[in-house]
């Protein structure tokens, strides 16, 4: 008769089932990491007895996954708070209309499809043309009213937001209801005319961003989260940058096309940029 499963194998199977169950909740990323770790063992691809350390690591992974809010859950909470702010302004309680007025999108490694992330970055843009001074203070108040605990890092006391030009930003630590573990949160509000550039910048990766900026620099431009401007060197160390955005863009695709670069989905941005051969890398800036 077949030998009964060992205690370690039984523990492993139980943890595997728990990690699979987490995939139905907000901790999908951590659950995926656990499945990748455990599934080969359960399929019999590893014949030797699983080590106690492996079971221990899986248990720690399960505990962390069940205690930490996934970026998608945090972004959804920010979106709900943003909707409450808009409804208070008089907009109808209609998700489709509210999402057309303002966008809130998680960026960083989460948007690039990574299974784990440290800080959670949420980029916000208002598209109805109305001024939005003081938005972040309203948004934080709405989040706190929804049961989210906050600890401000960006400035002391009541002044919790910083403004650079038309951009508002916030740095803090939050804890969602039902999750004992806190997470770092960065909120940034960009005007509609800069949003595509900001989305490109804050999606990353850092390596991809440096590659894209270096490519633009070699073409005589300066690329940032605000736009694409002319740039030329003066002397050995100084660079003079223009003020006029050469390519107002509604989408990231338009920025790639303007520079003559091959489009890369966020999940594929852990690489160097690649010029389009048919465009000769010239892009469409000549028509600006």
- Shared domain for 85 and 171, answered yes or no, is yes
- Shared domain for 215 and 177, answered yes or no, is no
Give me the pLDDT at residue 240, please: 60
- With a CB cutoff of 8 Å and minimum separation 6, the contacts of 279 are 260
Residue 1 lies in a domain: no
3-class state of residue 232 by DSSP: strand
- Shared domain for 56 and 79, answered yes or no, is no
Residue 251 lies in a domain: yes
- Planar angle of CA 64, 66, 71, nearest 5 degrees: 85
Give me the pLDDT at residue 19, please: 52
Residue 251 has pLDDT above 70, yes or no: yes
The pLDDT mean for the chain works out to 77
71-130 pLDDT, tens digit per residue, is: 888 899 999 999 999 999 999 999 999 999 999 999 998 899 886 677 899 999 998 888
Q: Which of 190, 216, 238 is the last residue of a domain?
A: 190
- Shared domain for 110 and 150, answered yes or no, is yes
Q: What is the CATH number of the domain that holds 166?
A: 3.30.460.10
Residue 187 has pLDDT above 80, yes or no: yes
Give me the pLDDT at residue 264, please: 94
User: Measured between alpha carbons, how far is 280 from 129 in angstroms, rounded to an integer?
Assistant: 37
- Shared domain for 81 and 174, answered yes or no, is yes
Residue 109 lies in a domain: yes
- Shared domain for 84 and 174, answered yes or no, is yes
- Shared domain for 22 and 38, answered yes or no, is yes
Residue 60 has pLDDT above 60, yes or no: no
Residue 2 lies in a domain: no
The burial class, CB within 10 Å (0-12 / 13-18 / 19+), for 13 is middle
What is the domain range of residue 177? 71-190
Residue 154 lies in a domain: yes
Tokens of 122: 């949420």
Instruction: Average the pLDDT over each of 16-25, 57-66, 187-196, 276-285 and give the range with the smallest value.
Output: 16-25
What size, in residues, is the chain?
288
> DSSP state, 277?
G
Diameter of the chain by CA atoms?
A: 84
Q: Which of 145, 160, 190 is the last residue of a domain?
A: 190
3-class state of residue 13 by DSSP: helix
- Shared domain for 124 and 30, answered yes or no, is no
Contact 255, 247 (CB under 8 A): yes
Nearest to 74 by CA among 31, 101, 104: 104
- Summarize the confidence of residues 243-272 as an average pLDDT: 90
Q: Which of 190, 210, 228 is the last residue of a domain?
A: 190
Q: What is the CATH number of the domain that holds 258?
A: 3.30.210.10
- Shared domain for 222 and 143, answered yes or no, is no
Residue 115 lies in a domain: yes
The number of distinct structural domains making up the chain is: 3
- Shared domain for 63 and 103, answered yes or no, is no
Tokens of 198: 């900001």
């Amino acid at each position: 008769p077949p030998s009964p499963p060992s205690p370690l194998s039984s523990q492993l199977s139980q943890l595997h089932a728990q990690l699979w169950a987490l995939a139905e909740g907000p901790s999908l990323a951590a659950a995926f990491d656990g499945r990748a770790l455990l599934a080969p063992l359960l399929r019999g691809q590893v014949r030797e007895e699983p080590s106690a350390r492996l079971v221990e690591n899986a248990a720690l992974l399960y505990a962390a996954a069940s205690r930490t809010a996934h970026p998608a859950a945090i972004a959804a909470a920010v979106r709900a708070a943003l909707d409450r702010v808009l409804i208070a302004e008089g907009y109808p309680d209609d998700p489709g209309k509210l999402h057309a007025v303002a966008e809130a999108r998680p960026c960083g490694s989460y948007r690039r499809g990574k299974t784990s992330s440290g800080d959670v970055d949420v980029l916000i843009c208002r598209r109805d043309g109305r001024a939005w001074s003081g938005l972040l203070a309203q948004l934080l108040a709405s989040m706190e009213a929804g049961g989210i605990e906050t600890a401000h890092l960006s400035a002391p006391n009541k002044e919790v937001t910083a403004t650079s030009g038309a951009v508002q930003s916030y740095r803090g630590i939050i804890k969602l209801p039902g999750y004992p573990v806190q997470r770092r949160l960065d909120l940034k509000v960009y005007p509609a005319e800069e949003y595509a550039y900001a989305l490109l910048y804050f999606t990353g990766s850092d390596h991809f961003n440096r590659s894209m900026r270096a490519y633009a620099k070699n073409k005589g431009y300066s690329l940032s989260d605000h736009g694409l401007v002319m740039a030329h060197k003066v002397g050995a160390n100084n660079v003079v940058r223009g003020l006029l955005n050469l390519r107002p863009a509604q989408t990231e695709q338009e920025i790639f096309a303007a520079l003559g670069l091959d489009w890369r989905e966020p999940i594929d941005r852990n690489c160097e940029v690649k010029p389009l051969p048919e465009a000769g890398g010239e892009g469409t800036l000549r028509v600006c």
